[in-house]
Amino acid sequence: MAAGQGAFSLREVLAAFQTCVTERREVLLGPYLSGWRGLIRFLHSLGAIFSFVSKDAVAKVQIMENYCRGEQREKYVSLQSMVEYELANGLVDIQKRSGRPDSGCRTVLRLHRALRWLQLFLEGLRTGREDSRTSVICTDSYNASLATYHPWVVRKAATVAFCTLPSRNAFLEIMNVGTTEEAVTMLGEALPYICDVYGITQELFARHKLLDLP
Ligand code: 1Q0
């Protein structure tokens, strides 16, 4: 099925996260956000039980897309230019939230934390046994990453939703990249790019002490 017609293809996401990183090791927001759009499309195909997740993810991508299309769009070309611009202009709430609109930094931080979950989840799928349960892989990945930042009620809803996930093989099939073996190979190729984007962002946010933004 052709990409861009509602069908999810892992290749598309791979390409987006791959093209994110420039030669100067900057992370470009355009492909970063289109990678997220691709993942959100996939999330929709998992059913309404995940709509509380996709709503939040869409809202965050939307905030970022608005910055990328807005008056200051040249400041939102890369994560590096965004951090520099927002910090230099006092646009980031550091201690607690004020009446200011959500900054790009705090919004990307949420997506960045979710990228860590994705990295762990895909690695779990890739290395899992044929009969391993996706819900377990997903819960373990979540508990080791995003769960730290979520209140009890969100953690509970997420854990319930994870129980509805299809089997590992069904999951690999709906990725739309051919046989399960091909999907596993593809995951092996995709992960280093996601890790790279994660690593650069983590280092950037750590250097500017932005890892705990409210
Ligand atoms: C496969 C199943 C996918 C399950 C997704 C796991 C993530 C669960 C997260 C649940 C949180 C949603 C509710 C909202 C939380 C917010 O409070 C929180 C903080 O924001 P704020 O503004 O209140 O400070 N938001 C977040 O933490 C952001 C969460 C974004 C989650 C984005 C997940 C997108 C997932 C896509 C599915 C990918 C499937 C991977 C397989 C594809 C192969 C390439």
Farthest CA pair distance, the chain? 52
- What local confidence, expressed as pLDDT, does residue 1 receive? 38
Distance CA(129)–CA(139), nearest Å, equals: 16
Q: Dihedral (C-alpha) 76, 103, 24, 196: value to the nearest 10 degrees?
A: -130
- What local confidence, expressed as pLDDT, does residue 2 receive? 42
Number of domains in the chain: 1
First to last CA, the chain: 41
pLDDT band for position 3 (cuts 50, 70, 90): very low
Q: Are 103 and 86 in contact (CB under 8 A)?
A: yes
pLDDT tens-place string over residues 129-161: 989 999 999 999 999 999 999 999 999 999 999
- What local confidence, expressed as pLDDT, does residue 48 receive? 94
Look up the CATH number of the domain holding residue 129.
1.10.3520.10
Residue 214 lies in a domain: no
pTM of the model: 0.95
What is the pLDDT averaged over residues 77-94?
97
Share of the chain above pLDDT 90, in %: 83
Residues with CB under 6 A from ligand 1: 10, 13, 39, 42-43, 52-53, 56-57, 110, 113-114, 117-118, 122, 138, 142, 146, 154, 158, 165, 175
Helix (H, G, I), strand (E, B) or coil at 135: helix
Residue 212 lies in a domain: no
Q: Which of 46, 44, 42, 18 is nearest to 32 (CA)?
A: 18
HEC profile of 74-103: HHHCEHHHHHHHHHHCCCCCCCCCCCCCCC
Residue 2 lies in a domain: no
Ligand 1 centroid – CA 151 distance (Å): 13
Distance CA(40)–CA(32), nearest Å, equals: 13
Distance CA(120)–CA(46), nearest Å, equals: 19
- What local confidence, expressed as pLDDT, does residue 7 receive? 58
Report residue 19 as tokens.
């093209």
Q: Which of 141, 142, 132, 140 is nearest to 169 (CA)?
A: 132
Structural domain including 170 reads 10-207
Residue 213 lies in a domain: no
Residue 4 lies in a domain: no
* Residue located via tokens 């997740």: 53
